[in-house]
Each structure stands twice: as structure tokens, then as C-alpha cells.
A and B are shown apart, each in its own frame.
Chain A
Amino acid sequence: MNTKNLELPSYLEKGESVTKTLAAIKEREVVLEVKQLSKTFDSTKGPVTALNDVSFKTHRREFVTVIGPSGCGKSTLIRILAGLETQTHGEVLLDGKAVSGPGPDRGMVFQGYTLFPWLTVKKNVMFGLSCQGKTRATAESEAMQWVDLVGLEKFANAYPDQLSGGMKQRVAIARSLAAQPRILLMDEPFGALDAQTRVRMQEYLMEIWRNIDITILFITHDLDEAILLADRILVLKAHPGEIQEVIEVPVPRPRSSEQLLSPEFLATRQRLEELIHPPLDNDDTKPNMFRMVNVDDDVEPLL
């Protein structure tokens, strides 16, 4: 989408309702706090800094998306938050307490569904509950509520293999939420879905988020998705992965895909484009094109 030639308001301009909502969010307690997080990998060519001095806070029931070019360390960031990788420096605080290692207080939804193929939908959702030592009956009735919530009660006894991608991801969301985490970490959860399903899933997720008390940190590389879902967007840059800018989304809630063409939305999108796709000055991997065939009917007029 080319937004360059449109007369757009500044992405910093917000309506009254948006300003109010954002202020209200800041009043709420901090659920997750990240302090000076750094991560260095050892590679054959020496140490590589994946994340450098990343700090931010998320408040209760806030929806934060993280966006950045590939290789900016956004997946590393969320994996550290989930406790699946360890940071080199810095701290992750959940409700003010430092966390290390994975735990059910930070639910995670992966891009690759990661449902247990040997368990039915219902039993997948029961997994976290029975790990917490709940009785079978309690776990089952609680799980069914979550299965209901994501609208899959008809498929409660189906195996993951029998479900579509979107349905699988709904089960994965239900499974994470059933364990009652403080924050839901989502690592490009809709990345593998087709465009139509993705839009529906975004609406589903907003609906779920509206109805339950959950804070969400959502990683994506899709600009529209980042804006549509978020209260705030953390924009990362690559090499090393650092926070470039935190954007407070000026699009009023409730959101829907119709807002994709609203001025506030486009203004935000334009800003994200600037940040994530900076003009290529000295790109030595630029394709070096020459005509290999005779093309009579010009596909594009020659300059």
C-alpha cells in the first residue's frame, strides 16, 4: 500500500477517547516489566548481539504488539520472556518479581500450533489444568468453558490433526488461557494462516481479550496486524535488536478491519513503514536485472 502521497494527520495526534484510554491503561498496575534486557549469542564469527538494552513495561489488560524487521530479535525477546531462553543481562519482572525459567504464569502461543497430537481438543485444553493438580472433573469442566469460549465445543473430541489451521490456533489460545496466566505471549501466532483466516482470528482474539482479564504481548511482522490489535507498538530495529520507538496507537476502540483505511490507521502505518523499511542506500544485495527475453508487449513502459 502506498501511503506516501496521501495527506495524513500525524500519527501522534490522538482523539479524546484514545488519549483517555491510554491514560487509564497507565494507571493500572504493571504486569510485566523488562529491564535492560540483552542477549548475546556465540557464533563461529564471534559474539552476535541479538538484543541490546531492551526495557519496557506492560500494564494489566494492555495489548502490546512487537514489530520489527526479520532478525531484530523479536522471537528471542518473547522466548526470554517465556523463560525458554536465558538473557545475558537484564531482568524480567512479573508482578514485580523476577522470573527465570518457563512457568504457567506466562502463557505462550507459538506460530506452529504445538498442540499435542495424541490428545483431543478438550484434553489439550485440560493439559495445563491437570499439571496444576486439578481433579479430572474440575479440569474437564473448566476446559470445556474455554473450548466453548473459542467456539469449538463441537470439536471437543476431535484430534488436532482433524482441525484447520485457524481452529488449531484457537485451541492453542484456549489451552494457554485455561492455565490462567498473568500474561499471554504470542509469537507470530497467525503467521502461518491465510489472509482471510488471519483477519478472522484477529477479530476473535480482540473479542477474547475484551471479555477476559488478560494482558497480551503479541509479536508480528505484519504492520496492519500490529496496529489493529495494539494499544502500544514496540518497534524494534535489527543488528542489534533495540527498541526504536514506542507508538501509542491513535486508532479508537472497538477496532475492526474497516478501520484499516481510516486516517489514523494509515498515519500509523506510514510511520511504521518508515521505521521498518528505511530507504535502501547501500544495499549490495540489490538484484542486478537485465532482460533475458525479448518482450514485445511492454509489461511496464521502458524508461
Chain B
Amino acid sequence: MTFSTSNWFVPRTSLNTVRSRWLTILSFLVPVLIWCIVSYTPFIWHPNIQITEPGSVSYFKTGIQVKRDRFDAEVEKARKASVKIPQGVRVNPVYLPAPHEVAIAFYTSFTTEPKRRSEQWLHESLWHSITVIFWGFFLSSIVAVPLGILCGTYATFSKFHEPFIEFFRYLPAPAFGALAVAILGIHDAPKIAIIFIGTFFQQVLIVANTTRKLDLSLIEASLTLGAKRLQLLFKVVVPGILPDLYRDLRILLGWAWTYLIVAELIGTSSGITWFITQQARYKNFDNVFAAILMIGIIGLFSDIVLSKLGRKLFPWDKTTTKGG
């Protein structure tokens, strides 16, 4: 492999497979590596001291963490007074567990029984979150996609719907939390509603814009070939925007996950968010990290699956075949 800069930085040119594979691996490896360095090298960061021997200091107890300067001051004081000197090791704060701890938690959080009978296993929480996302996104899509396509095709629809939608999309979805609970109860319905509100309005506008980007000459060509209204819609507009629409939905699905965390705090806390808040309350930050990672992995995995599926579904589309 030759490392000449000119080959690494050619605008809008794809790298060879070896290089792009390496960079993909590195993009994950580098953050993990930084995390490892911060966690495993005692002289980097580690701002706290975990007490192993309280010595003469009354408020020190074995296992607690104190700030380093406080510890140093107490050591100095003890030395001057010639009493028993406290001892401890440098550690990172509890909220930054080491990679191996998170890795273990990743496994144990699935195998650990919930503390109370009413609580859910992690996989149950996750599944619950996924169903909430699915329903919120699905209900939003079945209304927003057709409406967006109509707005993008006919000015009448666009002028009638878009100004209000444009206004509504600035209203933050979580603001409707209390209202949603009042109307829909405390269980899943208000959560689905929040995801719906968070997704729907953006979705209509994005789909409408994607529809507007369809080459007008394709519509004109179809008109000169005798396409009538519905034929125009279903034989030209819909298939013409399908690959882009699919890409839009993939991106919007990612947004839906953002709204999930807010939605799940509304009414009775549930799903993965409930798990995260519960674990944070117990100060099991390794579990918190594990759960956050889990969301990332599910998101990434589902996106890869959808992008692979996209290539199968739209063989004519150059952008899906090359990108993703």
C-alpha cells in the first residue's frame, strides 16, 4: 500500500476497498481506543481517589471516592499531625465505567433478573421500545407519505396543507406530552402519539420536497404518452421518487428514535428509557452505557439491513447502489 496524500484526498472519488474497509474499522476503533486510554492509564485524567484505607480521616470510608486535591490536603494534614495516613487509588468518576465493565454489563444486563417482579428484563424493555417506535412511525408514514406526495405533485394540496404543517413542525413534540397523557391515558398510546407528532410534520414536508425534485420532463413525457391523473401518480410520480422516498424514511426512522427517549418518559416510564433511568438511579452506569450502546447497535443494524434491502428493491438507482 502506498501512502501518498494525493490518493487519499481526491474530491468525490471513492477509495479502494482496502482503504475504505480500514477507515470503517478505524472509525469505530479510534473512539474505543480513546476510551481505553482514559480508562486504563492511571496518570491520564482519573480525577478522583477511591479510598482503600481511611486512616485517621473521619469522613473517609473504604470504597468512597473523593476529589484528588481534597485527598492530597487530608494526606498532608495527617502527615503533619503524625497520625495514620489515608490511602487510596486514582480512579475515574463512577459515571465513566471502563470498556470491559461495560462489555460485562452488556452481557449481564440481559441475564440479570429484574429487582422487582413488576419490572422488565432488558430484552423486554428493548422490545417494548421497538414496538412503540414501530407504531409511531408506521402510523405517521401511512398518512404523511401519501399526503407528501400529493403536496409535491399538486399545488392545490401544497398550498392548502403546507403552511399549517410548516407552522406545526416548529412546535416541539415533547410539549404535547401532558396533553397526550390527558387524552390518551398513561400507557403506550401517548408515547406513540409523541413519536407521531415528532415525525409526521417533518415527514410530510420532506416527502413533498422529494416529490418536487422528480424531473418534470418525466411527467411531461408521460402526459404526451397519454397518462391520466391516477396513472400519472401511480405509474410515474410514485415509482420515480421511490428510491429517494425510501432514503428519506430511513433518515426519519433515525429521528423517531430521538423522540422515543422523550416519549417513554411520558405517563408511566417504560421501555429502554425506563431501564436507563432506573439503572442510573442505582448508579449502575455500566448498565446505562450498555443500554445506550444497545440503541446505537439496533439503529445501525436496522439501517444497514434497510440499505441492503434498498439495493435489492431499486436496481436501477445509482445512488443506492453506490452509497450506503
Contacts and interface: CB of A to CB of B under 8 A. Distances in A.
A91 to B, nearest CB: 19
A83 B220 CA distance: 9
Contact of A175 (B217, B225, B236, B239): B225
A116 B239 contact: yes
A262 interface: no
A84 B225 CA distance: 12
Contacts of A38: none
A128 B235 CA distance: 11
Interface stretch (A43-51, A99-107, A285-293): A99-107
B108 interface: no
Interface residues of A, number: 29
B225 A128 contact: yes
Contacts of A128: 225-226
Interface stretch (B8-16, B250-258, B295-303, B310-318): B310-318
A102 B240 CA distance: 20
A108 B316 contact: no
A246 B227 CA distance: 34
Interface in B220-236: 220-228, 231, 235-236
B316 A114 contact: no
A98 B239 CA distance: 33
Nearest to A103: B226
A126 B314 CA distance: 20
Q: Is the interface of B mostly helix, strand, loop or mixed?
A: helix
B316 A118 contact: yes
Contact of A108 (B221, B231, B236): B221
B226 A132 contact: yes
Given A107-B225, A161-B316, A116 B220 contact: no
B217 A112 contact: yes
B316 A127 contact: no
Contacts of A108: 220-221, 224
A159 interface: yes
A123 B59 CA distance: 82
Contacts of B318: 161
Contact of A107 (B224, B314, B316): B224
B76 interface: no
A82 B226 CA distance: 11
Contacts of B228: 131
B53 to A, nearest CB: 73
A18 B215 CA distance: 43
A118 B235 contact: no
A131 B218 contact: no
B226 A106 contact: no
Contacts of B235: 127, 130-131
A118 B224 contact: no
B66 to A, nearest CB: 66
B280 interface: no
Nearest to A162: B316
A118 B239 contact: yes
Nearest to B221: A114
A179 B231 CA distance: 15
A268 interface: no
Nearest to A112: B217
Contacts of B221: 108, 110, 114, 116, 172
A117 interface: yes
B13 to A, nearest CB: 20
A90 to B, nearest CB: 20
8 contacts: A102-B220, A102-B223, A110-B221, A114-B221, A118-B314, A118-B317, A127-B227, A131-B228
Interface of A: 82-84, 102-104, 106-108, 110, 112, 114, 116-119, 127-128, 130-132, 159-161, 172, 175-176, 179, 185
Closest 5 CB pairs of A and B: A104-B226, A128-B225, A102-B223, A114-B221, A108-B224
